[in-house]
Chains A and B, each alone.
Chain A
């Protein structure tokens, strides 16, 4: 058995102030690390939850997003004729030809314009998205200048609330309902009749075709057929995949940003821990000499000081993670990288982020403690005892 754990632990407690200050430095780093990872995760989750696995999104080949896509009416009809498209109640195809347009609308509080997605929808668009629910009012009547607004639009944009009027496409539109799309990107959209919106925006083509698969396993064959049809030059993706691809650039950016910041900050925190631990070793030189005289090995001394530094790191990690967990209560609204529309999402703390944060804090503790511990272990017994 070596030097008891309580020795390392109580020494940290004895110099509480230094311990707290040093741990705070590491806590800050872990906080930054955890929060950016949580943000990336929150964004990814929001966008992935936006899609359903059994839905297929068809857009122009290489378009990347619905905004950049265009699907001719004739092409849309060919897609609609595919045998894999599911048939719903009343013999209606579960397929929607949709239009996606980006416009600017002023925000309620700041009066500053921000991007909003206008989606022209068909009769089954709502049924295709089980995560979208009408919570207030009714659906727009086909052929009318009526729209429904996502929860975020209704709350944050002027004229977005129920009964209010929005102006875009050189027309006035009455908001007749509000829908809640849970934690998904649809909350930042306005939905109206696709034909009315195509007229208003003078768009001759759809943006995308979305349909439900009759059988989930039919995806590969329908994709094969659509992508190899010489008349089409379209691509088909599962809806989950489609939104995950959209989030990729942003989450990657956030992760790289988070890791870069973390590495820079952690250098400071590690140096801080190192200074603290060197001071601890210097203050306890006689003690180290005594322990060695009593028969404890150099390795025991090394372990005791590294353990002390690991405790310090873990303490910082737990504090940082504790504060980071509160960020789950915060909702951030930002631009969607692909559509440049308002997108609201949260910080999502996962188990993986938690253990990675703690592991990282332990690593900082280890890096900060290694050299001081090596100095402690390398001391000559008589010289250490004479330092009284």
Chain B
């Protein structure tokens, strides 16, 4: 499972700790995490419920703030960014895939995929071309005028994948992307994610409970009570 090509890490995490406050109680969630993710890696994060997998993923994706430590992604220490800078950084560097797809119900498949492009300087025509390209990639060009409620779970997740890659981000983060899908659709989604990694060289960080999903990854890391262990 080791990749033969040596590339510099795209994600560097050093001395990362994170805890939550519940009442006056301090709950440590991540303890002194240290690890690198190579560019073009397909990493699966596994571990029991409550071990801090989603928390770690959210920190890497720049939607949560660490207590201490460093997260450098593509050379940028995201802990140093202001809220506005971080939002701009996310829009170009991170593609999100959620367990429950999180599509906007009142927007069509096309409009959902277009959403991240509204934060760029692209013209309407350019946006249109981009959206059509990625929808073709996930085999949904026929469904672009459908609303999420008119699509199956698997199709919705494919729209979400299209939305995640539309800005050509540095990393793709997926939190249990197959957790809400039947076996066949799950297989389908994993194939797409695998293709994105293999053909387009996207770095994928995927949290999963599903051993079948983890099999697709090049590397599996386990998180146990906030501590990362090697495979």
Q: Which residues of A contact B (CB under 8 A)?
A: 1-4, 6-7, 10-11, 13-14, 286-287, 289-298, 381-382, 385, 388
B106 pairs with A385, CB closer than 8 A = no
B64 pairs with A382, CB closer than 8 A = yes
Cα–Cα distance between A385 and B63 once the two chains are bound (Å): 10
Residues of the B chain whose Cβ atoms lie less than 8 Å from the Cβ of A292: 63, 87
From B68-76, B114-122, B132-140, B218-226, the one touching the partner chain is B114-122
**B101-118 interface bits toward A, Cβ cutoff 8 Å, 1 = contact, 0 = none:** 010111100010001101
Residues of the B chain whose Cβ atoms lie less than 8 Å from the Cβ of A382: 58, 63-64
Residues of the A chain whose Cβ atoms lie less than 8 Å from the Cβ of B83: 298
B87 pairs with A295, CB closer than 8 A = yes
Is there a chain A Cβ closer than 8 Å to B98's Cβ? yes
Residues of the B chain whose Cβ atoms lie less than 8 Å from the Cβ of A388: 99-100
Cα–Cα distance between A78 and B111 once the two chains are bound (Å): 84
CB < 8 Å: which of B102, B106, B115, B163 contacts A14? B106
Residues of the B chain whose Cβ atoms lie less than 8 Å from the Cβ of A291: 104, 115
Cα–Cα distance between A287 and B103 once the two chains are bound (Å): 8
Cα–Cα distance between A385 and B116 once the two chains are bound (Å): 17
Using A1-B118, A290-B104, A295-B92 as known contacts, list a sample of 20 further A-B pairs with CB atoms less than 8 Å apart, ordered by residue number in A. Answer: A2-B118, A4-B111, A7-B106, A11-B106, A287-B104, A292-B63, A292-B87, A293-B61, A293-B63, A293-B90, A294-B91, A294-B96, A294-B119, A294-B163, A295-B119, A297-B84, A297-B87, A382-B58, A385-B63, A388-B100
Closest CB of chain A to B81's CB: distance in Å? 12
Interface size on B, residues (CB 8 A): 26
A295 pairs with B102, CB closer than 8 A = no
B91 pairs with A295, CB closer than 8 A = yes
Residues of the A chain whose Cβ atoms lie less than 8 Å from the Cβ of B91: 294-295
Cα–Cα distance between A293 and B106 once the two chains are bound (Å): 18
Closest CB of chain B to A195's CB: distance in Å? 79
Residues of the B chain whose Cβ atoms lie less than 8 Å from the Cβ of A287: 102, 104-105
Closest CB of chain A to B62's CB: distance in Å? 9
Residues of the B chain whose Cβ atoms lie less than 8 Å from the Cβ of A3: 118
B119 pairs with A286, CB closer than 8 A = no
Is there a chain A Cβ closer than 8 Å to B212's Cβ? no
Cα–Cα distance between A91 and B100 once the two chains are bound (Å): 96
Closest CB of chain A to B172's CB: distance in Å? 13
Is there a chain A Cβ closer than 8 Å to B198's Cβ? no
B107: nearest chain-A partner, CB-CB: A7
Residues of the B chain whose Cβ atoms lie less than 8 Å from the Cβ of A297: 84, 87
Is there a chain A Cβ closer than 8 Å to B88's Cβ? yes
Cα–Cα distance between A237 and B224 once the two chains are bound (Å): 95
Residues of the A chain whose Cβ atoms lie less than 8 Å from the Cβ of B58: 382
Closest CB of chain A to B169's CB: distance in Å? 10
Residues of the A chain whose Cβ atoms lie less than 8 Å from the Cβ of B99: 388
Cα–Cα distance between A18 and B199 once the two chains are bound (Å): 48
Cα–Cα distance between A2 and B115 once the two chains are bound (Å): 9
Closest CB of chain A to B165's CB: distance in Å? 13
Closest CB of chain A to B76's CB: distance in Å? 15
B121: nearest chain-A partner, CB-CB: A1
Closest CB of chain A to B74's CB: distance in Å? 16
B91: nearest chain-A partner, CB-CB: A295
CB < 8 Å: which of B88, B96, B104, B107 contacts A293? B96
Residues of the A chain whose Cβ atoms lie less than 8 Å from the Cβ of B163: 294
Residues of the A chain whose Cβ atoms lie less than 8 Å from the Cβ of B111: 4, 6
A295 pairs with B100, CB closer than 8 A = no
Closest CB of chain A to B86's CB: distance in Å? 9
Closest CB of chain A to B209's CB: distance in Å? 16
B64 pairs with A381, CB closer than 8 A = yes
Using A293-B63, A388-B100 as known contacts, say yes or no to A14 and B105 having CB atoms under 8 A apart. yes
The 8 closest A-B pairs by CB, nearest first: A295-B91, A10-B106, A290-B102, A381-B63, A1-B118, A295-B90, A382-B64, A295-B87
Closest CB of chain A to B149's CB: distance in Å? 10
Closest CB of chain B to A14's CB: distance in Å? 6
B104 pairs with A7, CB closer than 8 A = yes
Cα–Cα distance between A14 and B106 once the two chains are bound (Å): 7
Residues of the A chain whose Cβ atoms lie less than 8 Å from the Cβ of B100: 286, 388
Residue picked from B61, B64, B92, B104, most chain A C-beta under 10 Å: B104
Using A295-B88, A382-B63 as known contacts, say yes or no to A1 and B119 having CB atoms under 8 A apart. yes
Residue picked from B63, B84, B107, B111, most chain A C-beta under 10 Å: B63
CB < 8 Å: which of B61, B102, B115 contacts A286? B102
Residue picked from B61, B64, B87, B116, most chain A C-beta under 10 Å: B87
Using A381-B64, A382-B64 as known contacts, say yes or no to A294 and B115 having CB atoms under 8 A apart. yes
